[in-house]
Structure 1
Amino acid sequence: MTSSFFAECAWLGGDTVTANVLITVDAGRITSVSAGADCPAGARRLAGLAMPGVANAHSHVFHRAIRGRGQQGVDSFWSWRDLMYSVAGTLNPDSLYELALATYAEMSLAGVTSVGEFFYVHHDPDGRPYANPNIMGETVARAAEDAGLRITLLDTLYLQGGVDGREVAGVQKRFSDGSWEQWAARVGQLKDTATFRSGAAIHSVRAVPRPALAPVADFARANGMPLHAHVSEQPAENQESLDVYGLTPTKLLHEAGVLGADMTAVHATHLTEADIAAYGSTGTNICMCCTTERDLADGVGPAGALLAAGAGLCVGSDAHMMIDLLEEGRAIELDHRLVTGRRGHVGVAQIAESLTSGGARSLGWDAGSIAPGKLADFTVIDLLSPRTAGAATGEMLPHVIFAATGADVRTVVRGGVVVVDEGRNLRVPNTGQALDAAIGKIMASL
């Protein structure tokens, strides 16, 4: 079925914005884009600035339950992790679905059209596979579809409790398949759809032993899957890797053949010059999760140096201390200004690309630009909010990138179908109430 959208203003790439853009869509893909057009009868008018759909390249959906609960009395990443583990230990398919549905609806309200779910709560609380061994991953996939998102399920390998090879313990038993071969056999049962695709993830060099790194990368590439890994989020992780292997986590992954244009290193905060060069030479994607780095006092990653070396950038809301991808994007530049004392590390168009095409590339979706042949995913920003007023007569793209928030998202379209209209998710209309109810049930079970 053919439909059309008329964007009063649209970002089609580069540093400028184009007025009066007519976009035609058929079977969920863009068939034509015409600038300087008139709005025909029957076209859906997109009031504001239309951008390609925003991609959230790194999510741990169940972390949403502890937003605000680790701001007092939790003094480090490791103590925060204990709090997070307490929630992971309580989840079942029903409670996970309710929380994921509401959290993904919150994401859609912030303009997200696709999400990369870095997922490792695979089994029951004792580490035993469910009758359907993929029920937990399939649950978050169903929640994403029901909330109106595309999802790349980055099914995560987790085999050990530390770089030193200690066994998983406690809640970590839920995460482990026992071997990379058993993990691959389970993941191989997942089937892609128009809005779901399976991906692979190495949790970290802490959780995956060296001999399993190359096989996971080979499995992902043999099956055309995006590949992600947590890398160098904490200095302690780097030191443990150096102590055990004599290599940084990046060097360890590089030697195993993991890096590449189909791979995304999440965080990549504490890097050596050699690490940066390795990411650049391989065209690896870097997913920056700035609001999480701030909240956990992790540090500020070298975004400008990574870009200059040839790496790609995307963004994620990670632990969901907040879900505002516009903030994630501008924080790449703004946080770097704070630690360097100068401006101009990452340009406005590069930030916009990290939100859209960079994320789409990381997650394996043929999206991220408003162009013929691409998936018809759009995010529309209100230009008349108190934050964006004046953008229409000024430098529109910089104004939106550096001042708009997720609350300014007006309309979201996935595959040519409106998911968010006038700031309301049409599938989960009472998103705040749904979140409150889902979180309340989980926290009452602790």
Structure 2
Amino acid sequence: MSMSTSALFARHALLPEGWRADVLLEWDERGDLSSVRPGADALAGVEKADYVLPGMINLHSHAFQRAMAGLAERAGSSEDSFWTWRELMYRFAGRITPEQMEAVAAQLQVECLRHGYTAICEFHYVQRDPGGALYANPAETALRIAAAARRSGIGLTLLPVMYGYAGFGEQPLKPGQQRFRTDPELVLRIVEALEAQRGPQLEVGAAPHSLRAASAGQLRELVAGLPAGRPLHIHIAEQQLEVQQCLEVLGARPVDYLMERVEVDGRWCLVHATHLSDGEVAALAASGAVAGLCPTTEANLGDGLFPLAPYLAAGGVFGIGSDSHVSQSPVEELRWLEYGQRLARRQRNIAVDDACRDVGTYLWRQALRGGAQTSGRAVGRLAAGRRADLLVLDGAHPNLDGLDTGEVLGRFLFCGNDNLVRDVLAGGRWVVRDGRHVDQDAVARRYTQAVRALRAM
């Protein structure tokens, strides 16, 4: 008997109510879960798995930066910082072609899928050609990201970025920023041009880059023009210098300033939000917005540590992203989210609450919640009506041998560096089998060709 391609029997699956045994998961032709039944019988012809998790959402990505990951780790003649790293990033952004961008994005997405991300939010700000002119289709480069996602199979939230200024006080853009130049009208044109792309695997929102790059008037115009309910993401309070300049020029801290000028609610994702006052922590938590945390990038750039414990105590929602792609693993993001807090507070087991005392389980479930909310897509839960996005862990790996289900996520996140993700289903399509993406070799060849050409330019 042939195996069913639209069903999976999980001996253990992480459902919204917790771990459940003997779960039959079925999905339809659209890639939506049609039935999730615990306590089911193992039917003949249905594939079986030991441990099944909802796929993770990567809520913050700059895909083109995958091509430069690991190339900014040589010390310069002066003290290195985010700002010196940014100069190298601008050089890569100034060179990359739409074809290369598609190849790099596909490679990144394949790597994300292999490590357990089944959805990604692309904070997309390279809109113009290398000379600063618009392409014939203003959505040209965004469409390349969408094409890469169709090939890789990852779910996508596209966020065309509004980028109008070089710094606080509406400073004119520098030469290295001309490819990013947009205003509310252009961003909304790009959003409209992407309308035909929207569907179960792709949503379209928008992203004012930061308070450095967008005025208050532009923020209000973009928010008013974006269709109701669409996601809105913004970089904010990432660097101490950014906070200092915001205070000096705008007279308020970044999160306070944003909240005084637009309604920040559940469709917003405030990316990084590293340097917050106590009042901003409380206000962000109360708003219902998501704190978009990218621990590996924030560590790589020397940003600082998000105030996680008080934010969680205030009921705040968070998700994780890989940002500059020095890592493509949700395990590493969540591990270092917790480890950073342990180092800062000099204690253990920070990310828990009264209802869940297991750190691994708490981190995975809370990151699913925040990622799903800010993606604008029906993901993050193994439940009927949600996308069929799931991970099958390698039950034969020694790290998972003989565990109670309550121990699985602790082992997954905090035991060694082997990738325990064996198979990945995204939108009802098996895209990773036995640890390999179904198109891995062809995607890698195109990526290698693109990066060689970029480095030769």
Structure 2 residue 177 is matched with structure 1 residue 172: yes
Task: Map Cα deviations across residues 110-146 of structure 1 (whole Å, 9 max, x no partner).
Answer: 1111100000000111211101110000101110111
Unaligned runs of 5+ in 1: none
Task: Map Cα deviations across residues 332-362 of structure 1 (whole Å, 9 max, x no partner).
Answer: 2221010011223212333112342321111
Counterpart residue type for residue 440 of structure 1:
R
The count of residues paired between Structure 1 and Structure 2 equals 441
Task: Tell me if structure 2 keeps the 8 A contact 1:315–1:355.
Answer: yes
Structure 2 residue 415 is matched with structure 1 residue 411: no
Aligned counterparts of 2:447 and 2:367: Cα–Cα separation in 1: 25
Structure 2 residue 100 is matched with structure 1 residue 88: no
* Residue in structure 1 matched with residue 51 of structure 2 by the alignment: 49
* Residue in structure 1 matched with residue 355 of structure 2 by the alignment: none
* Residue in structure 2 matched with residue 23 of structure 1 by the alignment: 25
SS of 1:188's equivalent in the other structure is helix
Task: Tell me if structure 1 keeps the 8 A contact 2:264–2:289.
Answer: yes
Counterpart residue type for residue 415 of structure 1:
G
* Residue in structure 1 matched with residue 217 of structure 2 by the alignment: 211
Q: 1:346 to 1:394 in 2, by over 3 A?
A: closer
Q: 1:254 to 1:182 in 2, by over 3 A?
A: same
Task: Tell me if structure 1 keeps the 8 A contact 2:123–2:207.
Answer: yes
Aligned counterparts of 2:12 and 2:447: Cα–Cα separation in 1: 33
Task: Tell me if structure 1 keeps the 8 A contact 2:286–2:315.
Answer: yes
Aligned counterparts of 1:441 and 1:214: Cα–Cα separation in 2: 40
TM-score (norm 1): 0.94
Deviation at 1:43, TM superposition (A): 1.4
* Residue in structure 2 matched with residue 132 of structure 1 by the alignment: 137
SS of 2:6's equivalent in the other structure is strand
SS of 1:301's equivalent in the other structure is coil
Identity of counterpart residues, as a percentage?
35
SS of 1:270's equivalent in the other structure is coil
Counterpart residue type for residue 6 of structure 1:
F
Aligned counterparts of 2:247 and 2:330: Cα–Cα separation in 1: 34
Counterpart residue type for residue 124 of structure 1:
D
Counterpart residue type for residue 204 of structure 1:
S
Further displaced range: 105-114 or 302-311: 302-311
Structure 2 residue 64 is matched with structure 1 residue 33: no
Deviation at 1:307, TM superposition (A): 2.0
* Residue in structure 1 matched with residue 11 of structure 2 by the alignment: 8
- CA-based RMSD of the aligned residues comes to 1.9
Deviation at 1:387, TM superposition (A): 4.3
SS of 2:440's equivalent in the other structure is coil
Counterpart residue type for residue 213 of structure 2:
A
Aligned counterparts of 2:398 and 2:452: Cα–Cα separation in 1: 33
Task: Map Cα deviations across residues 95-119 of structure 1 (whole Å, 9 max, x no partner).
Answer: 1111111111111111111100000
Structure 2 residue 375 is matched with structure 1 residue 363: yes
Q: 1:425 to 1:266 in 2, by over 3 A?
A: same
Aligned counterparts of 1:393 and 1:195: Cα–Cα separation in 2: 30
Task: Tell me if structure 2 keeps the 8 A contact 1:65–1:443.
Answer: no
Structure 2 residue 158 is matched with structure 1 residue 153: yes
SS of 2:12's equivalent in the other structure is strand
Match of 1:99 among 100, 104, 114: 104
Q: 1:354 to 1:434 in 2, by over 3 A?
A: farther
Deviation at 1:434, TM superposition (A): 4.6
Deviation at 1:438, TM superposition (A): 3.0
* Residue in structure 2 matched with residue 285 of structure 1 by the alignment: 290
Task: Map Cα deviations across residues 55-95 of structure 1 (whole Å, 9 max, x no partner).
Answer: 11100101111111111125111111101111000111111
SS of 1:438's equivalent in the other structure is helix
Match of 2:311 among 306, 309, 320: 306
TM-score (norm 2): 0.92
Aligned counterparts of 1:186 and 1:415: Cα–Cα separation in 2: 25
